Structure 1
Amino acid sequence: MAENTPTQANEEIDLGVLFDKIKSLVKSVLKGIVNVVQFFWKHKFRLIIVGVIGIAVGLYLAKTAEKIYLNELLIEPNYKSTQYVYDKVNAINKKIESADTIYLQDVFGVNYKKVKGLEIEPVVDVYGLVSESEEIQETFKVLFVENGNTSFFEEDINKINYTQHKIRILVEGEDDNEIISSQFFDYINSNLFYQKQSDVIYKRIEEQLEENELMRKQIDSVIAYVQKKPNSQLTQQGISFSASQEVSELINRKRALFASDFDLLDRLAKEKNVVALVDKTTAIMDRSYNFSFRIIPVVFVLFYCLVFLTKHLVRKLSVYA
């Protein structure tokens, strides 16, 4: 019993000290809150004046400052040029950071100084990507089992596999957005390597269209000849038909040629350029790319409070010194 008495006394002393510290902390917090309220009440007129000045400055800057406008290009890279487009966008951004005026003028023209940056991202089309081939389907099945979700669809490694991509051009000011966007699009289409590929494929498609047209004319002439002489046999330019063949078979072949023409014409329209332009929207006012001047009054008030807090701390330190 005698041994427990000092221990209990020490515990009571420790609890007493703890409660005293808690009381002191609560008093300090309450005192600080009261001081803050007193400060704002004492300086209320000055704070109102500072806030009004901040509002006036914010309104003035909002009207006079040049805003950033967004220009969006929806594109489809051809001839496996997706990586080229991404690399080109990254290179241009680095040139903007380093202020390479000669290079930027070649890309955007005389208004290059207005361009503040480029952004590019794929248009994530999971169904379109997976349905391209059985090999891709099997690959993504394995990835889905390993990851347990579809987050890998948005990883950088898959960006070149998507058909469409979105490029954003950030331009200062509302003027010349259309010109800048057009000159940038012409620039990324000026790659000689891909242009040569485009010329070769374009020529082959035109030759195939001419061949399809010739085949249809031959089919028409054969059908007309067979209808006139049903028991005859015709061999022309490597194509052999006899009366025993049904006319419907020839018509189906002609339809297949028209379907082939449709696909070829679609390729001509899309693959005329290295990068096909699907859609373009210029001079979009997007607040997320612009500084909000509404925060200026708050900054002015906080700066006023910071000045008085600094003076208060200096006085405290001088007393202790």
Structure 2
Amino acid sequence: MNPQENNRYSDEVDLGYLISKIGNLFKKIAKAFVYTVDFYLKFKWIVLAMLVVGGIGGYLLDVNTPSQSKIEMLVEPNYNTHRMFYNTVENIPALFQKQHTDQEAKIELKKLFGEDYKYIRNVEVKPLRDFNYLMKGEEFIERIETLSEINDLDWVFEDLEKGFFNKQHLLQIVVIDENGLDKNRIAQNFVDYFNQIDYLQEYRKVSLDNTEYLLTQNDQSITQIDSVMLAAGSLASLKSIQQGVLLSDNSQLGNLLEQKTEILDQRLELFKTVKMQEQVLEIVHLNLNAKFDSAIASLSKKVLFPVLLILGFSLVMFFVFVYKQLKSYTSD
């Protein structure tokens, strides 16, 4: 037999072995299917009873279980309170876990949400990432400059990952819809919790006073520039110096116009700062009836319960079968 015939024979043997294995696999799958059908036919009355009982029980739970919805709050933490805001929200699940055994946890929940805290099931927060705002944010730039001097940027990367430097953040509160629930009161209580902290209010007052002072200085500068330009217009033909500016020099007037434009831009930004930072935590948008999407919550219990009962019964019988096989094996 030449080498080519040997190779062809070897390929035929390998292909035949593979087909044989595939055939055996399909036989095992078919046997498993037949055994499964035989098992459920053998216990068909038990399976039928579980279908009926599970369906009725699930239907009653569907009827009596209140629906869930979400309160979505788009908020802006001001005055460098981002880390405090996130730490507070991330600590809320632990407070709910300890509320029945720790009185302080219950008191803290009441401070955060009022008496309606008992309707809350989950609280989450995530940043709305805005890289354009991020690159212009004074806090971010200052933190980069400070930490780069000491070669420690780990904190910056950690804050970037969590989104502390972003302007707006989406807070989602999952609640059960029951009589007596006031969603607006929950949202307002949460915001008031931050806005009523004494030292933050003091920081806010100092910051706003400083902004008001800068606005006053800007107004005075604009008034002075307007006075100089008015004088320049009425004395354009005279070569005189007033308030340190050569009035006949058009380039000097151009510089004044540019300076006034810059001051007006600064004034606009200062006004925005005052408006946007009236509170420590500002609500930008509030949706009290956001849809709550959950695969488990949306699955009807009259379908889920029978399936779980049958799967549980099948699992128990499987362990019984394994036990009998092991017992038979050890007795032999």
TM-score by length of 2: 0.69
Structure 2: unaligned runs, 5 residues or longer: 1-24, 100-104, 149-154
Task: Quote the offset at 1:267 in angstroms.
Answer: 1.0
Q: Structure 2 vs 1, CA of residues 295 and 165 (structure 1 numbering), >3 Å: closer, same or farther?
A: same
Q: Structure 2 vs 1, CA of residues 90 and 311 (structure 1 numbering), >3 Å: closer, same or farther?
A: closer
Structure 1: unaligned runs, 5 residues or longer: 1-24, 141-151
| Aligned counterparts of 1:125 and 1:74: Cα–Cα separation in 2 | 14
Equivalent residue of 2:278, what SS? Answer: coil
Equivalent residue of 2:244, what SS? Answer: strand
Superposition CA RMSD, Å: 3.9
| Aligned counterparts of 1:204 and 1:31: Cα–Cα separation in 2 | 82
Contact 1:130 1:136 in 2 (8 A): no
Q: Which residue of 149, 174, 182 corresponds with 1:176?
A: 182
Contact 1:72 1:168 in 2 (8 A): yes
Q: Structure 2 vs 1, CA of residues 260 and 155 (structure 1 numbering), >3 Å: closer, same or farther?
A: closer
Q: Which residue of 2 aligns with 1:85?
A: 85
Which shows bigger deviation, 118-127 or 222-231? 118-127
Contact 2:159 2:165 in 1 (8 A): no
Q: Structure 2 vs 1, CA of residues 217 and 84 (structure 1 numbering), >3 Å: closer, same or farther?
A: same
Aligned ranges for residues 290-301 of structure 1 at < 5 Å? 291=297, 292=299, 293=301, 294-301=303-310
Which shows bigger deviation, 36-45 or 303-312? 303-312
Equivalent residue of 2:174, what SS? Answer: strand
Q: Which residue of 225, 230, 248 corresponds with 2:231?
A: 225
Task: Quote the offset at 1:201 in angstroms.
Answer: 1.4
Q: Which residue of 282, 293, 303 corresponds with 1:276?
A: 282
| Aligned counterparts of 1:228 and 1:266: Cα–Cα separation in 2 | 36
Q: Which residue of 189, 198, 204 corresponds with 2:195?
A: 189
1:123 aligns with 2:132: no
TM-score by length of 1: 0.71
| Aligned counterparts of 2:167 and 2:29: Cα–Cα separation in 1 | 60
Contact 1:68 1:290 in 2 (8 A): no
Task: Quote the offset at 1:154 in angstroms.
Answer: 8.5
| Pairs aligned (count) | 282
Q: Structure 2 vs 1, CA of residues 251 and 296 (structure 1 numbering), >3 Å: closer, same or farther?
A: same
Contact 1:126 1:153 in 2 (8 A): no
Task: Quote the offset at 1:184 in angstroms.
Answer: 0.5
Which shows bigger deviation, 99-108 or 307-316? 307-316
Which shows bigger deviation, 122-131 or 169-178? 122-131
Which shows bigger deviation, 46-55 or 26-35? 26-35
Q: Which residue of 2 aligns with 1:262?
A: 268
